[in-house]
Amino acid sequence: MRSLIRGGTVVSAEGASALDVLVEDERVVALAAGGSELAGSWQEGADRVLEAAGKYVIPGGIDAHTHMEMPFGGTMSADTFETGTRAAAWGGTTMIIDFAIQSKGQSLIAGMDAWQSKADGVCAVDYSFHAIISDVNESSLKEMDVLVEQGVTSFKLFMAYPGVFYATDREIFQAMDRAAGNGALIMMHAENGIAIDAIVAAALAKGQTDPIFHGLTRPAEMEGEAAHRAITLAQVAKAPLYIVHLSSEPALAAVVAARDRGQNTFAETCPQYLFLSEDDMARPGFEGAKFVCTPPLRPRHHQAALWRGLRTDDLSVVATDHCPFCFAEQKELGVGDFTKIPNGLPGVENRMDLIFQGVVAGEITLPRWVEVTSTNPAKMFGLYPKKGAIAPGSDADIVIYDPLATQTISAATHHMAVDYSCYEGMTITGHVDTVLSRGRQIIGGGAYTGEAGHGRFVTRQLCQRLG
């Protein structure tokens, strides 16, 4: 099967140029200047020609932080791997990296097997897993080596959620030390969960139960302190570190300082921290529960710092932390007690469009949009240039993006299995037109033409961003 994408502007992390793209079966085979003799010669043998005039042709988005079907707070995140990856496809994301959770008392491999069986045979787009280590012990440390050998090269630890996922500094250091030896990347949820628990208990004792107190009991300084501590532990362990869902200026300052002294420290932020704020958690009644995630949404002034971090590469990835819970029956578990609101927001479908608004507003350049949503996650998690690039030999995960179309985000039209949108009514510029996943058209003409089970598990190399 030969497909030709004709007349578009190919945008990469390096720049944008008028190029036609030739795809054969699952791979990109060649690029040539639009209108050139070579590109013209491809038309004859093409089984399919996709017209991309006036549109951007970009490598498919890679969302490096999702939680499909994740048990949390006595319930389960609402998207299955089937619905969540289909929604990802609608939004121009052609690969997700989800998290396989080690339960306490279980092995890392058992967690991986459990998540593999959730995803196997149902995904619309390719997928991979990070492993969450919730029980650091001699045998799980050894299992890290096994997973790295098997192409699972990143491990998340938590400084938050005492009694659930929380790891002590000793355990974190041990895992980092192991990662320094086996080349894995440690991903950190950086919040001082022990101190936050005390603040939460004091709030509840005062009868402060509304959703806004989720945010007010988790101050940004607690994220900054934890980020600094994680960075220091990683420095001593000589291990690379990637801070997930960075939301605030203090945490960003810790990352900037580490990077300025040459440490292999990286961070991601999420669209919710760039577009939403503490004010949303303070919406009247229980409405604020729709915006409860961890770390919490911050006062609006943090947003400018995060955009700056994206420009300077102190923040190198935008992922969603997609962890949807329906307002009815799931978020509502926390009526009268904010600690019972399941933590997490939907967003896998909205990421490419929302970050494109950063281009529209002049916060980031067009190539930087591609870099933080596709190329950097690919390099960070050992997928490049199979993913994150449109180059000969790369997987033909390609999005044709219409930069002039407008759309209004709404739960009534989104494809995530959740009954609300955090961005309800937001009118934006830009729209996914066509999506190819390994050469197969899965979105086009306003329809989903993919198939559950088309998405394959992808093994990964070690981090490709280390200095």
Q: Give the start-end residues of each E strand in 102-202.
A: 126-132, 154-158, 185-189
Nearest to 379 by CA among 59, 30, 9: 59
List the one residue from 20, 249, 314, 321 that touches Zn ion (CB under 5 A): 321
At closest approach, how far in Å is the CB of 65 from Zn ion?
Answer: 5
CA distance 150 to 459: 7
Check binding of 290 to ligand URP (CB under 6 A).
no
The pair of three-digit structure tokens given for residue 314, joined into one six-digit string: 């102190």
CA distances from 364 to 72, 266, 313, 373 (A): 34, 18, 11, 12
Cβ atoms of 321 and 239 within 8 Å: the answer is: no
At closest approach, how far in Å is the CB of 98 from Zn ion?
Answer: 9
175: partner contacted, choices ligand URP, Zn ion, none (Cβ within 5-8 A by kind): none
User: Which class for 285: exposed (0-12), middle (13-18), buried (19 or more C-beta within 10 A)?
Assistant: exposed
Nearest to 402 by CA among 44, 51, 48, 166: 51
Touching ligand URP, residues 93-152 (CB under 6 A) = none
Q: Is 399 helix (H, G, I), strand (E, B) or coil?
A: strand
What is the distance of C-alpha 291 from the center of its chain? 17
Check binding of 343 to ligand URP (CB under 6 A).
yes
At closest approach, how far in Å is the CB of 296 from ligand URP?
Answer: 9
376: partner contacted, choices ligand URP, Zn ion, none (Cβ within 5-8 A by kind): none
List the one residue from 64, 323, 398, 435 that touches ligand URP (CB under 6 A): 323
User: Which class for 206: exposed (0-12), middle (13-18), buried (19 or more C-beta within 10 A)?
Assistant: exposed
List the one residue from 189, 290, 322, 351 that touches Zn ion (CB under 5 A): 189
421: partner contacted, choices Zn ion, ligand URP, none (Cβ within 5-8 A by kind): none
184: partner contacted, choices Zn ion, ligand URP, none (Cβ within 5-8 A by kind): none
Number of Cβ within 10 Å of residue 282's Cβ equals: 17
State which amino acid sits at residue 377. Answer: P
Residue nearest to ligand URP (CB): 343
Nearer to Zn ion, 189 or 465 (CB): 189
C-alpha angle 235/369/386, rounded to 5°? 75
343: partner contacted, choices ligand URP, Zn ion, none (Cβ within 5-8 A by kind): ligand URP
Check binding of 172 to ligand URP (CB under 6 A).
no
The pair of three-digit structure tokens given for residue 185, joined into one six-digit string: 């990347």
List the one residue from 293, 348, 372, 458 that touches ligand URP (CB under 6 A): 293
Q: Which DSSP letter does residue 33 get?
A: E
Give the list of residues 6+ apart from residue 171 with CB closer than 8 angstroms, or none.
136, 157
Check binding of 294 to ligand URP (CB under 6 A).
yes
Nearer to ligand URP, 249 or 321 (CB): 321
344: partner contacted, choices Zn ion, ligand URP, none (Cβ within 5-8 A by kind): ligand URP
The pair of three-digit structure tokens given for residue 371, joined into one six-digit string: 């870099």
The residue range among 16-24, 188-196, 309-317, 359-367 that interacts with Zn ion, by the rule CB under 5 A, is 188-196
At closest approach, how far in Å is the CB of 65 from ligand URP?
Answer: 7
Site track 67-86 with ligand URP (rule: CB under 6 A), x = hit: x-------------------
Q: Is 160 helix (H, G, I), strand (E, B) or coil?
A: coil
CA distance 386 to 304: 33
Check binding of 378 to ligand URP (CB under 6 A).
no
22: partner contacted, choices Zn ion, ligand URP, none (Cβ within 5-8 A by kind): none
At closest approach, how far in Å is the CB of 406 from Zn ion?
Answer: 30
List the one residue from 86, 189, 351, 440 that touches ligand URP (CB under 6 A): 189
Touching ligand URP, residues 379-438 (CB under 6 A) = none
List the one residue from 20, 63, 225, 321 that touches ligand URP (CB under 6 A): 321
Nearer to ligand URP, 19 or 315 (CB): 315
Check binding of 344 to ligand URP (CB under 6 A).
yes
CA distance 15 to 366: 8
User: Which class for 216: exposed (0-12), middle (13-18), buried (19 or more C-beta within 10 A)?
Assistant: middle
Cβ atoms of 244 and 268 within 8 Å: the answer is: yes
Question: By the criterion CB under 5 A, which residues form the site for Zn ion?
Answer: 189, 321
Question: By the criterion CB under 6 A, which residues form the site for ligand URP?
Answer: 67, 189, 245, 293-294, 321, 323, 343-344
